[in-house]
């Protein structure tokens, strides 16, 4: 895992600041906060690991109504197209959906990320292999993630994501993963 070295922050320093926090109070209602996040507390965290690169991330990325830029930069790097080593800005709503779904599933196991950002070239290559890959995939826009958990079923994960009414949710039971995106509300798969 890479360590960002901004003059003011490093990931380690940032996490150290919050190591002493022992209790998270109920979140105040911030204007503009999506309804599914109103009960998420005043700290948001995302925990992912990549089976493709072997990297892991367990990151506080939002505190008391504010996104943390160095944390978002590290999330962007983690969710990069590993085939082409290309980074894109991941939509903050997508990170929020992942964090909220994970929190609702009540597990310490990080999501196994199968796919985050994809370049158009990577998406075209995957589309040649499977007709289930959308030509205008939200992965190309940094708005989608494919995940699984060994401790939860595809149905459990998809129900968690669907509960927020916050984007697209696809169930891929035979391949054991769930697609989550921050596009229009829709669902598919079995």
Structure confidence at residue 6 (pLDDT): 40
Find the mean pLDDT for residues 8-13: 40
Among the residue ranges 9-18, 77-86, 154-163, the one predicted with the least confidence is 9-18
Please give the share of the chain, as a percent, with pLDDT higher than 90.
66
Structure confidence at residue 90 (pLDDT): 97
What span, in angstroms and rounded, lies between the C-alpha atoms of 31 and 169? Answer: 26
Residue bearing the bigger pLDDT, 18 or 164: 164
Residues 92-117: tens digit of each pLDDT: 999 999 999 999 999 999 999 999 99
Structure confidence at residue 64 (pLDDT): 87
CATH of domain 11-189: 3.30.1380.10
Structure confidence at residue 36 (pLDDT): 55
* Structural domain boundaries in the chain: 11-189
Looking only at the bridges linking them, the beta strands covering 168-172 and 177-181 are: antiparallel
User: 13: pLDDT confidence band, cut at 50, 70 and 90?
Assistant: very low
Structure confidence at residue 67 (pLDDT): 95
Structure confidence at residue 41 (pLDDT): 56
Contact status, residue 161 vs residue 169, Cβ threshold 8 Å: yes
| 132: number of Cβ within 10 Å | 13
First to last CA, the chain: 34
Residue bearing the bigger pLDDT, 144 or 32: 144
Average pLDDT, rounded, for the chain: 83
Alpha-carbon distance values, 150 to 50, 146, 147, 154 (Å): 13, 14, 10, 10
DSSP collapsed to 3 states, the chain: CCCCECCCCEHHHHHHHCCCCCCCCCCCCCCCCCHHHCCCCCEEEEEEEECCCCCEEEEEEEECCEECHHHHHHHHHHCCECCCCECCCCCHHHHHHHHHHHHHHCCCCCEEEEECCCCHHHHHHHHHHCCCCCCCCHHHHCCEEEEECCCCCHHHHHHHHHCCCCCEEEEECCCCEEEEECCCCEEEEC
Closest CA to 40 of 49, 50, 30, 48: 30
Here the tokens at position 79 are: 């969710």
Structure confidence at residue 131 (pLDDT): 76
Contact status, residue 167 vs residue 93, Cβ threshold 8 Å: yes
Residues 27-82: tens digit of each pLDDT: 333 344 455 555 455 899 999 999 899 999 999 999 988 999 999 999 999 999 99
What span, in angstroms and rounded, lies between the C-alpha atoms of 85 and 105? Answer: 31
């Amino acid at each position: 895992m890479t360590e960002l070295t901004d003059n003011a922050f490093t990931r380690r320093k940032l996490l150290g600041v919050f190591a002493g926090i022992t209790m998270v109070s109920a979140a105040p209602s911030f204007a503009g906060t999506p309804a599914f996040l109103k009960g998420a507390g005043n700290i948001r965290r995302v925990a992912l690991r990549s089976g493709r690169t072997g990297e892991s991330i367990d990151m506080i990325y939002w505190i008391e109504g504010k996104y943390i830029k160095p944390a978002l930069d590290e999330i962007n790097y983690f969710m990069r197209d590993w085939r082409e080593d290309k980074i894109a800005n991941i939509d903050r709503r997508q990170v929020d959906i992942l964090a909220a779904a994970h929190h609702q599933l009540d597990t310490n196991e990080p999501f196994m990320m199968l796919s985050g950002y994809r370049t158009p070239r990577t998406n075209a290559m995957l589309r040649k292999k499977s007709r289930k890959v959308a030509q205008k995939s939200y992965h190309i826009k940094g708005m989608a993630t494919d995940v699984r958990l060994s401790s939860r079923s595809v149905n459990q994960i998809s129900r968690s994501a669907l509960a927020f009414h916050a984007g697209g949710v696809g169930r891929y039971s035979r391949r054991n993963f769930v697609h989550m995106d921050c596009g229009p509300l829709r669902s598919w798969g079995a």
